[in-house]
Chains A and B, each alone.
Chain A
Amino acid sequence: MFSSFRQAMAWLHTWFGLTLGFILMVVFFFGSLSVFDREIDRWSIPETRFEPQVMPSFDEMLLPILRSVEPNEEDYNTNMPLLHDTSQGPMTPRTELPADEFWAYTTHRDPVLIMGVGFRVPQPLDPEGHNHIHGNITIDPRTGKALPDDQLKIGSKFFYPMHFSLNWNWNRIGIYIVGIAAFIMMAALVSGVIIHRKRFREFFTFRPTKQTQRSVLDLHNLTGMVALPFHFFFTFTGLLIFASFFFFPVTHTQLEPLHKYHEMVEANETGLPHDRAGVPTDMASIDAMVAKAKQRWAEKDMPGEVGFLQINHVDDANSYVSIYRAGSDRVALVGEGMHFNGITGELIREEPPRSAIAETEEFLTGLHLQHFEHWFLRWLYVFGGLVGAICIATGFIFFVEKRKRQHTLQGSSGSQVVDALAVTTVTGMLVATVSMLVANRLLPAEMVGKGYWEQVVFWGSWGVMLLHAFWRSSAVRHMRISPAWREQSILFAVLAVAAVILNWITTGDHLLKTAFHYWPVAGVDLSLLVSSAIAIYAARFLKRRENVAVHKAIEFSAQNLEASRG
């Protein structure tokens, strides 16, 4: 069917790239924003604009708070009927569920402390299953005051999940779609190199003043090539992070018996009790265990703070406490976990040195998840992601430029549709993102369901941009550049500046105050302003190109007319 390997690769690159490129665009853009998800959280929830804190006293502050947490109503209503065994009696009322697990998590970029309780289902249908109903809480670690949990953390709870699941959670379909798109991204990278391997020099050529089709292809090759290791690496590690649970869940399905057997062997080795004893017992001081864990880390020449703490089998004779180190000073996500007996406070297990494979895997996934504190490297990630976005976007434009003449002559609307979708996923996505930030500053903080309405604004404005892109796309049929590109760029530029001004008006935080004093907010504001300036430049550039294209379009119609007469 294909006359050569190269032709097959070109076909694959074009058509898979076109169909899944729209998804990849979303993944790359929101992945770039996710590098600073916690900073965007600070921007969008002004009450949380303070410096990150170390984990406060567990015994004095966190434990009493955890004991007051109630199971989440929605979680209870959805999952309790599924987990509970009705033959053993009626469901335990929501507020009477006993706590089984406590946890607290903090990062070097999170001033707020996230904590949660896993409540036990007393009469479970499957005693071996994960029988937990959850209740989470976010607190100000300076005072222990609960922060309103219904406010949407736009960065870490909307933009970040957008990156890997498109926020489409029905049967986790979003994760699978992103997975297929990521797999195709790897195939597109390999096939892209193969297509052009004969003319290697082309990868490093950029002729911005040539006609659009030429310069766009140059930019596509250049951005694909200079960041090729970055693109491949991130796509690969992204797939790897989800592989064992979603993409190749071999050990959770077919080889589950082998997995269970391994867990049993491991539980024997580690001495960490797998089940509750059923004997209620008071627990020892957690703070003393934290102090011991920190001392052990210091002895191992890696002093550090607590990042994650979990109490298993709460108030039971079998309870144990796992304490993990905050890993912000290294790439690999290593917790150096210490496990203590919850009743006696004794250290029962220290995680042994890891194998080469485990170290490789931790390094790879750690590089992707970037929990480390290295601002230069973080910014490099942002630019790498945006370079990927440019590569994908120029792929769309090249597709349109190459075919629009032919499509017009054939009476096909293919180029027009692709162009409109490209506008929607490039400038339309930017407008939706910044609209959400504007809505965040305009809607009152105490409004019920504010987070919901912010999402409505995001999807709504994106939908409007889609309609606008299609409405303006007829220009492509006439061999011109769709004005939607320019118009949405201008809209974005205006909204981005508006977001910065609204932040100033509603919180009093302006750049002169925040720069050098509170980078999370200053960084978001500055990024918005720089993006706005780039959008203005792009709009002006597009205006010039549109004028050139108009002349060409007139020539084209004249030729067409002649051809039809002749």
Chain B
Amino acid sequence: MPNFSSPAWPIASRIFASLVGGYLFTWGLIAIVIAALIPLGVEFHDAEMGMLMLGLLVYLSLFLWGMATDKLIWLWLILFGGGVAMTLLASVVQQSFLQGI
């Protein structure tokens, strides 16, 4: 049983949320934007490359924010909640686009 009152716990939670949550959020963002841009007629590799370049910078910013913020609850909610929501939405958008053609 981990000792949640140990001083190592908040920092471990913060690192985990910033690294993994930040990654998940970035993944979701990349996925949803690509999935949304293709039906709008943007070339596939343009959308992909543009989002990868942007995604790396977004991930970096999220990570730095996560390491510094006071609001750990928000950190968890936004990164994991937002990440999962955008990832799921991306799959839905993709499916409805591919079905429509």
Pairwise interchain contact B98-A248, C-beta atoms closer than 8 A: no
Chain A residues near B46 (CB-CB < 8 A): 355, 357-358
CA distance A407 to B98 in the complex (A): 62
List, in ascending order, chain A residues with CB within 8 A of B31's CB. 250, 254-255
Tell me the smallest distance from the CB of A485 to a CB of chain B, in Å: 32
Whether B56 contacts A258 by the Cβ 8 Å rule is no
A-B contact pairs, 29 of them (CB 8 A): A1-B10, A1-B14, A9-B67, A11-B67, A12-B67, A191-B64, A236-B56, A239-B56, A240-B52, A244-B48, A244-B49, A248-B26, A248-B30, A248-B52, A250-B48, A251-B44, A254-B90, A254-B91, A255-B94, A257-B94, A258-B38, A258-B97, A258-B98, A262-B38, A262-B45, A357-B46, A358-B45, A358-B49, A361-B49
Chain B contact residues, majority secondary structure:
helix
Is A8 interfacial (CB 8 A cutoff)? yes
**Is A261 positioned at the interface, with any CB of B under 8 Å from its CB?**
yes
B77 at the interface (CB under 8 A from A): no
Interface extent on B, as a size class? Answer: 35 or more
Q: What CA separation (Å) do A254 and B91 show in the bound complex?
A: 7
Taking the complex as formed, is A2 at the interface, i.e. its CB lies under 8 A from any CB of chain B? yes
| B48 neighbours in A (Cβ, 8 Å) | 244, 250-251
- Chain B residues, CB < 8 A from A357: 46, 49-50
Query: Is A259 a contact of B64 with CB atoms below 8 Å?
Result: no
Given contacts A8-B68, A251-B48, A355-B46, contact A186 B60 (CB under 8 A): yes
Bound-state CA distance A239–B68 (Å) is 24
Cβ contact of B59, chosen from A1, A2, A183, cutoff 8 A: A183
B35 at the interface (CB under 8 A from A): yes
B residues 33-53 with Cβ under 8 Å of A? 34-35, 38, 43-46, 48-53
CA distance A409 to B26 in the complex (A): 45
**A375-402 interface code vs B (CB 8 A; 1 in, 0 out):** 0000000000000000000000000000
Given A248-B26, A255-B90, A240-B53 contact (CB < 8 Å): yes
CB pair A250 B27 closer than 8 Å: yes
A243 and B11 contacting across the interface, CB-CB below 8 Å = no
**Which residues of A sit under 8 angstroms from B11, Cβ to Cβ?**
1
Chain A contact surface mostly: helix
Residues of A within 8 A of B90 (CB): 254-255
B63 at the interface (CB under 8 A from A): yes
In the complex, A12 Cα to B63 Cα: how many Å? 10
Question: Complex formed: what's the CA distance from A255 to B90 in Å?
Answer: 8
Q: Which residues of A contact B49 (CB under 8 A)?
A: 244, 357-358, 360-361
The 8 closest A-B pairs by CB, nearest first: A8-B68, A262-B44, A357-B46, A243-B52, A361-B49, A12-B67, A357-B50, A5-B68
Name B's A-contacting residues (CB within 8 A): 10-11, 14, 26-27, 30-31, 34-35, 38, 43-46, 48-53, 55-56, 59-60, 63-64, 67-68, 70, 87, 90-91, 94-95, 97-98, 101
Whole-angstrom CA separation of A248 from B59 in the bound complex: 11
Chain B residues with CB below 8 A from A1, complex form: 10-11, 14, 70
Q: Kindly supply a per-residue 1/0 record for chain A positions 210-254, scoring 1 wherever the CB is within 8 Å of any chain B CB and 0 otherwise.
A: 000000000000000000000000001001100110001011001
Contacts of A254 in B (CB 8 A): 31, 87, 90-91, 94
Instruction: Output the nearest chain A residue to B45 by Cβ-Cβ distance.
Output: A358
B45 partner residues in chain A, CB cutoff 8 A: 262, 358
Distance, CA A361 to CA B50, complexed state (A): 8
Shortest distance from the beta carbon of A232 to any chain B beta carbon, whole Å: 10
Residue interface mask A358-370, B partner, CB < 8 A = 1: 1011001000000
Chain B contacts for A187, CB-based, 8 A:
60, 63-64, 67
- Write the chain A residue with the least CB distance to B22: A183
Which of A2, A240, A255 is the most central at the interface, judged by chain B CB atoms within 10 Å of its CB? A255
Query: Is residue A190 within 8 Å, beta carbon to beta carbon, of the partner chain?
Result: yes
Instruction: Write out the residue numbers on chain A whose beta carbons fall within 8 Å of the beta carbon of B14.
Output: 1
**B98 touching A257 by the CB < 8 A rule?**
yes
Nearest to A355 among chain B residues (CB) is B46
